[in-house]
Amino acid sequence: MSESLTCDVVVVGAGVVGAATALYAGRAGLDTVVVDRGPVAGGTTGAGEGNLLVSDKEPGPELELALLSSRLWAALAREGLGRAVEYEAKGGVVVAGTDRALAGLEKLAAEQRAAGVEAVPVPPDALTDLEPYLAPGLAGGMHYPQDAQVMPALAAAHLLRASKARVLTGREVTGVLRGPDGAVRGVRTDRGVLHAPAVVNAAGTWGGEVAARAGVSLPVLPRRGFVLVTEPLPPRIRHKVYAADYVADVASDSAALHTSPVVEGTPAGPVLIGASRERVGFDRSLSLPALRALAAGATGLFPFLAGVRALRTYAGFRPYLPDHLPAIGPDARAPGLFHACGHEGAGIGLATGTGHLLAQVLSGRTPDLDLFPFRPDRFTEEAE
């Protein structure tokens, strides 16, 4: 079946970022079509834990985006989407095993507070009030009430439905149409052409490929992560709980395996254990060393987990850019081309802010945040 469609915006990618972009673009009155070569949430979204975190971000543009996104997620939840996407404003607890780690955590929290983050110190003897099953002997921690959680695949599917956009799954974008002036005119797919004056690259880990099809370079690379999923349990872990070293791992440039555990319960019962990070390309094969490290970290935080069984594990690929900031906004090299990808492990959380800002740009308004740090062509400039 081949068809030709005309609309205001084509969003490439039916993950959570594409879905949020479609939602806010639709609300801005733009006729939007979402196209994906796979199903809804078929890429990194489907492999995500659903972290909506402010706690793991250092002050700067990403934290500003996270705070905006956090407010937008909460607003969507209030509008009635909360239940469908399993939104839980559960808060995060970051723990430190040593006084040194605690000092680092306190310093970070002080900077975050200045940027508008709520960060409440938790003395060691009060940790078990927040998390009764935590290991004894921790040096202390920090409570971040703004951290929250959604079920990522449900979030993508329900944001797409709420967007009222036309969603074309199983259809691959094979090229981006450019006019004689270089301006984007739409996309070519394996089943017809979609005409539009604006194309949004929300292809996540595959965003580099989509950019290449538009004739521009965007150095998105995969960073593999494993998640361990346990047997269903009664609610025992109330917050997102992770060790203070996590922030260092997130910001790390190293290709080697990093694992600092992020442990959380889910409404359905299983406990999720993330978040290994390693740069090994698109290799999905099982890595027992990564899983052992995750299990060791998680049982270190919550000793009762040692007797709990892992039912499954899966790998996902976080899309990252060299400076660990996403690409958001218009691409000066191809008028009409916009990017919304490269969110690394924070794409679920940052999706709402990203979609909101893009919708503002697409409809000719001034975005709520300065998009300069996220400009997609910033790597080309460095190369020059």
Partner 1 sequence: MRTDLAVVGAGPAGLAAALAACARGVRVTLVDAAAQPGGQYYRQPAAGLGAARPEALHHRWRTWKRLRDGLAAHAVHVLTDHHVWSAERTPDGFTVHALLGPEQDQPVEVRARAVLLATGGYEKVLPFPGWTLPGVVTAGGAQAMLKGGLAVPGRRAVVAGTGPLLLPVATGLAAAGVEVAALVESAGPGRLARHGRALAGKLPEGAGYAARLLRHRVPVLTRHTVVRAHGDDRLTGVTVASLDAEGRVRPGTERHLDCDALAVGHGMLPHTDLAESLGCRLDGLTVAIDPEQRTDVPGVWAAGEATGVGGADLALAEGHIAGCSAAAHLRGTAPGPAPAALKARAKLRRSAAALDSAYAPPAHWPEQITDDTVVCRCEEVTAGAVREALDLGAGDERTVKLLTRAGMGWCQGRMCGTAVAGLAGCPPAPGKRPFARPVPLGVLARQHPQEGPS
Partner 2 sequence: MNPLELAGARPGPAFTVTFDGRPVEALPGQTVAAALWAAGVTSWRSTRSQGRPRGVFCGIGVCFDCLVTVNGLPNRRACLVPVRPGDVIATQDGTGQEEACHAD
379 contributes a contact to partner 2 by CB under 8 A: no
Q: Is 63 within 8 Å of 111 (Cβ atoms)?
A: no
Helix (H) or strand (E) holding 101: helix 99-114
The amino acid occupying position 265 is: G
357 contributes a contact to partner 2 by CB under 8 A: no
Binding region for partner 2 (CB under 8 A) out of 105-113, 167-175, 304-312, 367-375: 304-312
The amino acid occupying position 333 is: R
Q: Which does 179 bind (CB under 5 to 8 A by kind): partner 2, partner 1, none?
A: none
The token duo for 377 is 């062509």
Please select the residue that binds partner 1; options are 148, 173, 214, 243, rule is CB under 8 A. Answer: 243
Q: Is 188 within 8 Å of 174 (Cβ atoms)?
A: yes
Phi, psi angle pair for 196, to nearest 5°: -165, 150
Helix (H) or strand (E) holding 33: strand 32-35
What's the CA gap between 220 and 244, in Å, rounded? 27
CB of 121 to partner 1, least distance (A): 18
CB of 121 to partner 2, least distance (A): 22
Q: Which does 256 bind (CB under 5 to 8 A by kind): partner 1, partner 2, none?
A: none
CB of 163 to partner 2, least distance (A): 30
256 contributes a contact to partner 1 by CB under 8 A: no
Cα–Cα distances (Å) from 175 to 188, 193, 199, 249, 332, in that order, read 5, 9, 11, 36, 18
169 contributes a contact to partner 1 by CB under 8 A: yes
Residue 2 or 285: the one with the smaller Cβ distance to partner 1 is: 285
Residue 80 or 307: the one with the smaller Cβ distance to partner 1 is: 307
26 contributes a contact to partner 1 by CB under 8 A: no
Binding mask 118-157 for partner 1 (x = CB under 8 A): -----------------x--x--------------xx--x
The token duo for 259 is 């694992």
Return all residues near 136 (Cβ < 8 A) that are at least 6 apart.
Answer: none
Q: Which does 230 bind (CB under 5 to 8 A by kind): partner 2, partner 1, none?
A: partner 1
134 contributes a contact to partner 2 by CB under 8 A: yes
What's the CA gap between 155 and 161, in Å, rounded? 10
Residue 80 or 136: the one with the smaller Cβ distance to partner 2 is: 136
Please select the residue that binds partner 2; options are 29, 60, 182, 232, rule is CB under 8 A. Answer: 232
Please select the residue that binds partner 1; options are 7, 11, 12, 14, rule is CB under 8 A. Answer: 14
Place of tokens 């994906």: 36
Q: Quick check: helix, strand or coil at residue 15?
A: coil
Binding region for partner 1 (CB under 8 A) out of 123-131, 185-193, 196-204, 300-308: 300-308
313 contributes a contact to partner 1 by CB under 8 A: yes
32 contributes a contact to partner 1 by CB under 8 A: no
What's the CA gap between 190 and 272, in Å, rounded? 37
The amino acid occupying position 121 is: P
Q: How many residues bind partner 2 (CB under 8 A)?
A: 13
Cα–Cα distances (Å) from 269 to 93, 156, 230, 266, 280, in that order, read 19, 21, 9, 5, 31
Q: Is 332 within 8 Å of 294 (Cβ atoms)?
A: no
Helix (H) or strand (E) holding 142: strand 140-144
126 contributes a contact to partner 2 by CB under 8 A: no
Contacts with partner 2, residue ranges (CB under 8 A): 128, 132-134, 231-234, 236, 269, 304, 307, 309
Q: Which residues bind partner 1 (CB under 8 A)?
A: 14, 39-42, 46, 95-98, 101, 135, 138, 153-154, 157-158, 160-161, 167, 169-170, 228-232, 243-245, 260-261, 268, 270, 273, 285-286, 288-289, 291-301, 305-314
